[in-house]
Each structure stands twice: as C-alpha cells, then as structure tokens.
Amino acid sequence: MDRAELEQKILELVAISYKKNAEDLSLETSFKNDLGGASVQMVALVAEIENETDACVTLQDAAACETIGDLVDLVENEL
Amino acid sequence: MSILDTIYAKAKQNPQKVAFPEAANEKMMQAAFEAGRDGYIYPVLVGNAEELRALAAERGYDPAVFSFVDIADEEYKQKIIAAYVALEDTHLKEKALARRMQNPLYYAMAMQKVGEVAVTFAGIDNTTGDVLLAGQMMIGLKPNISTVSSIGLCDIPGFEGSEGSLLAIGDSAVCTNPNPEQLADIGISACETVESLLGWEPRCAFVCYSTLGSGQGELIDKVTEAVRIAQEKRPDLAIDGEFQFDAAISPAVAAKKVKRESKVAGKANVVIWPDLNVGNVGVKLIQQFGHADAYGPMLQGFNSVVCDCSRGAPVSEIKGNIIISAVRAANMK
C-alpha cells in the first residue's frame, strides 16, 4: 500500500469509527478540536486499522496523534 | 456480619468462573487457589498450561482446584475467535484477534466476552493502563457510557449514614478531569455498580463546594450540568445535586441547606466527586481521619466486569478483590 492509498484508507476508517462523512475529513482534521472524540471511538479506530492494514498501533500512540495526518504517519511507521 | 462477610457469602452461593492471565505470578496463583479452594470461585488459569501446572505442583497447590487453558491450544482458540467475531459489538476480526490473543490478558478477555468465564482478573504484572486498554478493546464500554471510571467502597467506623458505616465514592482513581457528560456517566455507572454488588437502591449525590446554587462559578457549572445530563439519561435513578458533601450525607445539614424535595440529600449512599483531585484527596481524608477501610477501586463502565489489582497488593487483598469481582459479575448476568 503506497502513501496515497494509506491516507485514503485511514480517512475512510476515521469516518467509519467517528460516524462522519469521509469527504468532510482531511489530513489536517484534528481529533480533539474537529472530531471531539471519546476514547470509545479511538478504540474502534485502532481495531479497524489493525483489521484493515495489519498495523498494530497502540491506543496510547494513536490517542497522542493530533491530526489524521499524524495517525497516517504512525501507521506508516508500523507497516 | 461485615460487608466483606456478606459479599463472601454471596460469592459462595453462586461461584463464578474467573480467568487469571497472570497466574504464573506467585501471589496471583496463591490468591486464585485460596479463592477456589474455599469455594468462592472456579479459577481458570490462562497461559502456558504445562508451565502453570508445574508451578502449581511446585508451590504445593492441588491442581484439581484449577482448570487450565493453554493459549497454544489452536482448536480452543479458534472456537473462541469464531464466537467472538460473531458478536455484534466487537471490533477485531479473526487475524487481528488471533494476534492479540497471543497475550494471555487479551486471550482471557476474549473468553470473557464470549461467556466462557464471567470475569478476568489481572493487574499484578500488567499495568492499570494495560488492563484498561485491553478491557476497552476486548470487552467494550456499555452503550451510552463514555468513560471508564471507578468507585471505592468505604467502611467508616462511627459513620451513621443511610447504609450504616458504608459509603460508595467515585471516582477516586481513574478518570482525571471528566467533562460534564463523563461525570454524569461516572454517577450512572456507580449506581449500577452498587446495585450489582450490594443490592442497594442507589441514592447518588454529585458534590462540589456549592449546594443548589449557594455558590457560582465554572467548577460548579460542570457539576450542575453533569447532574442534568445524568437525570435526563437515567430518570429511573435517584441522582441529585449539586450538593456540598455534608448536605449529601447528613440529614441535619440537608434539612438546613436543601429547601426542596430530594430523594438523595442527607441520605446519599453514593457520592460522586467533581474530579480526580477531589476524589483522591477525599478518599485519603476518609482513610486517614476516618480510619476507614476502602475497598476497590472497582472499575466500571465496561460491558462486563473488568478488574485491576494493585501490583503491591498482599494476597489477602487480591483474594478479596477477586471475590468482589465475581459477585459483581454474577449479579450483572
């Protein structure tokens, strides 16, 4: 999976986990300020990432990401 | 009969299967053995079964008290995985789940999720963070509950409250600075915890430095908003506030300060702190000045009981917490 495909995949998974439209999300979208996420959604997101990409990111590391772009970087490092 | 005696008696009436993913630990194995030998639970040791059997024999424990689950047993693992992924409220799929289940903590929680055991008991080798993360991933939070939290049960000599010397308090251990919705959920979870463990009819007071508008400010606004949310989400529960602590638990103070009907004021059996600063200081005050025994923290908010024990805990305390967890699990079924 190249970087562009990974970005698209993570955006899709964030949209599913946070129940948003993927078109409304970008790599600059902030988890805290734009998605207002509780830990429940982040748990679902980490599981989806593991299911779909085989990257085993920890919840702590994922929760430390400010933006979706940061999360893509994290997953890319795990792959 | 003390509260622990009452809980122990309940456990013996209906022993539950409890999974121990850290059973190689000497203190944990001893606590599991004693709780099993005395008829409070059916201990299920999860890990390398051969190693665990050898350790049990070496330590002089009758292996008949335990059942052993070998995480290398592929047939049983596949059975758990199939049952787990068939559930609607789980996140992980087969491959990711199989990978997670290489860790006995996740293996045990997968067993719990599919009903093979009633509860998983851990926290002596794993950190609290490990247990909370595994619990959120494998067991999940209850619908409409946004945060994991905890309560403690205090037995306070000389205190004459609505449940005698007992008072449940939360959260003194887990949720650092809850927002109003999270604070509301802590109160709702606390009501469910005392119902399932003690059979109480909960009367839950949200406390801060104001009683029904006697003070103003953002610290109070958070609490009043939490009370509103909690009452809206669970109108069936007796939840009220904002109250000062004395107005919550003392009928005499409540009579002076609470000038309206309240099922809770002056007779609260559950007290919800506004944040972890207050909660931690509060429980220390109760212990130091009130000479109270404080049991817990009992984790709450999960779909089924998730436990964490202190790494420094003595065997007697671990055994007590195992039995408390088993009773909670039995009553949540």
Domain residue extents for chain A: 3-78
The CATH classification of domain A3-78, taken from the options 2.30.30.140, 1.10.1200.10, 1.10.10.10, 3.40.50.300: 1.10.1200.10
> Per-residue pLDDT tens for B94-138?
999 999 999 999 999 999 999 999 999 999 999 888 898 899 999
Sequential pLDDT tens for chain A (79 residues): 788 999 999 999 999 888 889 889 999 999 988 887 667 788 889 999 998 998 888 888 898 899 999 999 999 988 8
Q: Model ipTM? A: 0.74
Domain(s) of CATH 3.40.50.10950: residues in chain B: 3-140+302-332
CB distance B43 to B33 below 8 Å: yes
Residue positions counted in chain B: 333
As a whole-number percent, the residues of chain B with pLDDT over 70 amount to 100
Give the whole-angstrom CA distance, residue B156 versus residue B167. Answer: 8
CB atoms A56 and B99 under 8 Å: yes
Chain B residues bordering chain A (beta-carbon distance below 8 Å): 91-93, 95-96, 99, 129, 133, 136-137, 140-141, 146-148
Instruction: Mark yes or no for CB contact A50/B136 under 8 Å.
Output: no
CATH level 2 (architecture), domain B149-295: 3-Layer(aba) Sandwich (3.40)
The reported pLDDT for the residue numbered A37 is: 64
What pLDDT, on the 0 to 100 scale, is given for residue A78? 83
Contact criterion met (CB < 8 Å) for B92 and A56: no
Size of interface A-B (CB pairs under 8 A): 37
Contacts of B133 in chain A (CB under 8 A): 58-60
What pLDDT, on a 0 to 100 scale, did the predictor assign at position B276?
94
Stretch B1-5: mean pLDDT, rounded? Answer: 79
Residue B96's CB is within 10 A of a number of other CB atoms, namely 23
Residue B310 has pLDDT above 80, yes or no: no
Scored b (16 or more CB within 10 A) or e, B203-228 reads: bbbbbbebbbeeeeeeebebbbbbbe
Distance CA B46, CA B120 (A): 10
CB contact under 8 A, B91 and A47: yes
Residue of B101, B103, B137 to mutate, interface with A, max A Cβ within 10 Å: B137
pLDDT score of B158: 94
**What share of chain B has pLDDT > 90, as a percent?**
82
In this structure, are residues B24 and B51 in contact, taking their beta carbons and an 8 Å threshold?
Answer: yes
Measure CB to CB from residue A51 to each of B92, B147, B148 and give the nearest one. B92
pLDDT computed for residue B11 by the predictor: 96
The minimal CB distance from B96 to the residues A38, A43, A47 is found for A47
B132 to chain A nearest CA, in Å? 11
Q: What's the rounded mean pLDDT across residues B203-219?
A: 97
Among the CATH numbers 3.40.50.10950, 3.40.50.1370, 3.30.830.10, 3.40.930.10, which is that of B3-140+302-332?
Answer: 3.40.50.10950
B172 CB-side CA count, 13 A? 23
pLDDT at B114: 97
**Least Cα separation, residue B307 to chain A (angstroms):** 18
Separation in Å, CA of B140 to nearest CA in chain A: 8
- Respond yes or no on whether the N-terminal peptide bond of residue B242 is cis (omega within 30° of 0): yes
B64-101: per-residue pLDDT in tens? 999 999 999 999 999 999 999 999 889 899 999 999 99
Q: What pTM value is reported for the model?
A: 0.85
Summary mean pLDDT of chain B:
94
Q: State the smallest CA–CA distance between residue A17 and chain B in angstroms.
A: 10
